[in-house]
Each structure stands twice: as structure tokens, then as C-alpha cells.
Structure 1
Amino acid sequence: MLLVIFGPGSVVAALLVGGGRLDYAGVGIIALSFAVVVAVVIYAFGSTSGAHINPAVTIALAVGRRFPWREVVPYLVAQLAGAVIGGLFIVAMFGRRATDLGGVGMTALQPGVGYGQGILIEAFGTFLLLLTIMALAVDRRAPQGWAGLMIGLAVAGEVFVLGPLTGGSINPARTFGPYVANSMFGGDTPWWQFGVYVVGPIAGAAVAVVLYDLVARPVSEVPATAEQGAAGEITGEQLPRPREAATGAEPSAGPPGRPAGHARSGIFGRHGPPGQGR
């Protein structure tokens, strides 16, 4: 809900201030608004649910076995419902101008961008998002406290480049909410393009998760069973050094007062990062 209010809502606001026209400076303001709301939501709700706010993130992390499949459907329902409520709030705030100016901030393929091209563009944008999530929120080697800010900036970065082409959705729920709200209040909604904003983000997200595990976090360096999360420096039980592995010596214990094997929680608390099962 918050993502849609302050993301697509910023599109309506920019068009209102610009008299119905949106220049590249306006795109920059929209990207900044997306970055801020994504960061705030992650810091606020990351420790509660992982703060996915994106069906592509949920599905991709389930594909990568970092999120339980049994929880995917409830998460998707919550994400889509929140997006629709956010779209309705935009209409409540701006009135008819919400549908007249940019269709409640909805995304659409711009002239010259084909259906297949749109899928590829959205896949690239979501690949960047999941690469950031994997590196800053999932990988146990991540520095503590940076996940929310950098994930927000990753969203801003893709809006800078992809916004003028597809709207830079990288999130099926972000597109779904404004589409539903716009349709409910008589706006012209390009539902035939909705597949672009489902197939592209899910494909790009899944590829990012798989490639990250193969390239940046190979099992030979960090075992698949190792604890994950934005835990800052690794504390507690460390990976065996070559000498220890060869001699069978016990790994080093953690700091005084902390038992071996205990890792300091990051911003995602006991529930782990986005996509980590309970």
C-alpha cells in the first residue's frame, strides 16, 4: 500500500505540477520517491515479514529455496491487496485528476517499445533489484544496516533508465494496483500489457537468485547450510580454515559471552531476510 501511494502517487503529483507533462527531471523525483518508500518499508517491516512488497521477490526467493512455498500464496494476496488499496488512496487524494493524469500512476509501454522488448527491459530491472537483495539482505557476509538504503537506491537506479521505456515497474503488484484503481474509476487501462509486468519481473528475479548462488556465493566458499542474513561481520562459528579442515580441529569460538554458532541478527531479525523461511 505504501509503495503504491508514494511510488505511482509521485507520478500523478509530478504530472499535476508539470501541467500534464513529465520531463526527465520529473522522472528523477519519482525515482527518489520510490527509493525512499522502499527503504522505509524495509527498515520498518523487515524484521516482521521480510518486507517483500513485490511478488517477483517472493517467487524468486522461493525458487532459490530461501522462502517456503507454503507462504507464497498468502504473501501474493497481501501484496496485491495492498497495491489495490494504495491505488484507491491515490484516487481519494487526487480525485478525478488521478485517472486523468497518468491513470493513477500506472505503467505502460511507451511508443516504440514492443511486448517482447518490454519483458526483457523489466527482466533486466528486476535482475538488478534481486542482485542487490541477495548481496545486501540475504548473504551472511553483507555489511549490517545497508540493505534498506541500497535496495531503495537500486529501485531508483532502474527507474532512471527504464522509466521512460516501460515505466520501470519491476513489480507485478506495483502495476496491478494502479491498473485496478484506474479501471474502477473509468480510466483507460492497457490490461493487455499486464503480462509484460508479470513475466519480465519474475523471470529476471529468478535468474538473479540462481546466478548469485553460482557466481557470488558458491557453496565451495559458503556452504548452503550456512546462516544467511544481514549480520554484519560473521560472529560465532566461523568457516573452517584449511588447516582446521585438514586436522579436524574445532572451529574458533565466537566472542566472549556469545556461544559458538550464534550469529548477530541483522535488520531482518528472527524472521531472517526477505525470502528466508522461519
Structure 2
Amino acid sequence: MADPPSQPQPRRNQMTSPTLPQKLTAEVIGTAILVFIGAGSVPLTVHLTGNNPFGSAQLSTISFAFAFAIFAAVYSVGHISGCHINPAVTIALAATRKVDWATASYYILAQLLGAIVGALLTYVILIGNDPAALGLGSVGVDSKAGLWIGVAAEVIGTAILVFTVFGAAVDGRAPAGFAGIVIGFIVYGIIILVGPVTGAALNPARQIGPVLVEGAIGFGKFSARLGELWVYIVGPIAGGLVGAFLYEFVGHHRVATVPGVAVAEAAHAEA
């Protein structure tokens, strides 16, 4: 007797992991969002303020812009690339062996490209308002503080940021779905405190992208920004490493040997 014809099996939708080009494109887009909305709010706020003194209201406006940019980036591309959008974060992840160095190098290049794209978009918005005078969102060290205090401020601010990123987004024990909100608001708080000293870049790409494009359009403060650029590279990278290894120390846990507890903690760690 012949076997009955086999019935067609329904296809199951299979989720595949994003490819490296997809991840890199996501990093370009996420970093462009950060620079366009966050850093771009700086010259727009200066323009709207006019001759009025730059005070806490303006600083809060810029801080909120960065927070909302991070909300958008994390929840739009976080599930694709992890939404590093910051070389300091990527280097910290590579240093703690959560990302391989080859991938990290590609991510950093994508972030720098995204920062340039974001600065170019800011330029387009400002074309009618003299972007060469306003700049495109780069920041500078307060002359009363000095460069080394500026480095220290960037180290402290970025250490807090990366510590928070590791706790809220990297550690699998963190509550799901809150990373964007937590990271966005910690950036808001850091900018309020560190902003008056350095502008609180906390991110080498966020400074490098605008500075490069400002140089191309003839920004009046370009030479000063270029001379201080090392502050915004060394400070955030060092701070990111401090925050990452500090979290690795306090966040690392060993499975208890108490009967019953060991099994529960092991199961939680594997979940």
C-alpha cells in the first residue's frame, strides 16, 4: 500500500541575528540621532537665547535633548546593535571581553561616521542662521577650570555613565525594558553637573564629528576646539574603563554554597 502523500508543513518564521553590516548601520544611525538632536540642541539653544545669559534653563534644555535622543536611539536600534553609539562604551565592552576587538573597531568607525552625519544634518538646519558663528554642537573646557580639571570631569562623568550602562543594559539581571530611560536620565543628570566645566561630551565621537565639520565650514572657535580635542578623547575613554571595571568588581557574584540557594542562583545566572 502506497504511503499517503505528505502534507505540506507550515513554515515557521525564524528570527536571525542581525548581520555586522546591519549592526554598523544601526550604530551610524543611532550616533547620528545623538549628535543631531543632542549636540545640535547646543547651537539652536544659543541662537534662541540671543543676548540673554546662558543659565540653568538653557542647560536643562540641552540635557533633556540628549536624554530624549538616547531614548530614541536605544529603543530604535538597541535590539540591532546594542546601541553603543559611543566609542567609550564600545572600548569598555571590549576591555571586559563582552565584545571582540575587531568588532569594536568597526563599531567605533561607524560611530565616528554617524557623528559626522549628525553634524552635517545640524549644519543643514542652521544654514539660514550662520552656522560658522554658532558652531555645530562641539563643546569647550571652561577657561577657569583648565584642561586637566576638564579631563577629570570627563573621566568622572563617563565613569558614571558606563557604570550605569553596564548595570542597566549589559547585566542580564537588570529589569528588561528600562535601559533607555535609565541611561537617558543619568546623562541628563551628568550634563547638569559636568556641563558647566566641559560641556559634558562623555563621548569622543559626539565631539569629534562636530569639530571635523566645524573645521570644514570655518567655525571661529575651530582652533580652540581642535587644541582641546584630546581632553574629549582621553577623558571619556579612561572614564569608561573605570566605570566598566568598577561594575565588573561590584556586579560580579559567586554562587552561594548554601543548599537550595546555589541552585536558585545558578538558574538565575543562566536565565
TM beyond 0.5: yes
Stretch of structure 1 that moved more, 12-21 or 75-84 = 12-21
Question: Is the Cα contact below 8 Å between 1:53 and 1:79 reproduced in 2?
Answer: yes
Distance (whole Å) between structure 2 residues aligned to residue 15 and residue 124 of structure 1: 26
Partner of 1:242: 258
Shift of 1:65: 1.0
Percent of paired sites with the same residue: 36
Distance 1:51 1:253, change over 3 A: closer
Partner of 2:12: none
Residue 2 in structure 1 maps to residue 18 in structure 2? no
Question: Is the Cα contact below 8 Å between 1:123 and 1:204 reproduced in 2?
Answer: yes
How many residues align? The count is 235
Greater helix share, structure number: 2
Question: Is the Cα contact below 8 Å between 1:38 and 1:152 reproduced in 2?
Answer: yes
Partner of 1:195: 230
Distance (whole Å) between structure 2 residues aligned to residue 25 and residue 203 of structure 1: 30
The partner residue of 1:18 within 49, 70, 90 is 49
Partner of 1:156: 188
Question: Is the Cα contact below 8 Å between 1:56 and 1:205 reproduced in 2?
Answer: yes
Partner of 1:175: 207
Residue 39 in structure 1 maps to residue 74 in structure 2? no
Partner of 1:57: 89
Distance 1:252 1:185, change over 3 A: closer
Question: Is the Cα contact below 8 Å between 1:55 and 1:173 reproduced in 2?
Answer: yes
Shift of 1:134: 1.1
Question: Is the Cα contact below 8 Å between 1:14 and 1:22 reproduced in 2?
Answer: no
Within a 5 Å distance, the mapping from 1:106-255 to structure 2 comes to 106-187=138-219, 188-189=221-222, 190-215=225-250, 217-221=251-255, 242-244=258-260
Shift of 1:131: 1.2
Shift of 1:66: 1.1
Residue 66 in structure 1 maps to residue 94 in structure 2? no
Distance (whole Å) between structure 1 residues aligned to residue 132 and residue 93 of structure 2: 34
Q: Per-residue displacement from partner, 1:188-216 (whole Å, max 9, x unpaired)?
A: 3121101100111011110111111112x
Shift of 1:219: 3.8
Distance 1:252 1:2, change over 3 A: closer
Distance 1:245 1:261, change over 3 A: closer
Distance 1:34 1:242, change over 3 A: same
Shift of 1:153: 0.6
Higher alpha-carbon Rg: 2
CA RMSD of aligned residues (A): 2.1
Distance (whole Å) between structure 2 residues aligned to residue 67 and residue 30 of structure 1: 31
Task: Give the alignment's TM-score, normalised by structure 1.
Answer: 0.79
Stretch of structure 1 that moved more, 54-63 or 8-17 = 8-17
Q: Per-residue displacement from partner, 1:234-268 (whole Å, max 9, x unpaired)?
A: xxxxxx7621588xxx76998xxxxx9973xxxxx
Distance (whole Å) between structure 2 residues aligned to residue 38 and residue 112 of structure 1: 30
Q: Per-residue displacement from partner, 1:131-175 (whole Å, max 9, x unpaired)?
A: 111111111221111100010111111110111110000000010
Question: Is the Cα contact below 8 Å between 1:34 and 1:155 reproduced in 2?
Answer: yes
Distance 1:262 1:18, change over 3 A: same
Residue 79 in structure 1 maps to residue 107 in structure 2? no
Shift of 1:97: 2.5
Partner of 1:224: none
The partner residue of 2:131 within 78, 98, 123 is 98
Q: Per-residue displacement from partner, 1:117-142 (whole Å, max 9, x unpaired)?
A: 11110000001111111111111221
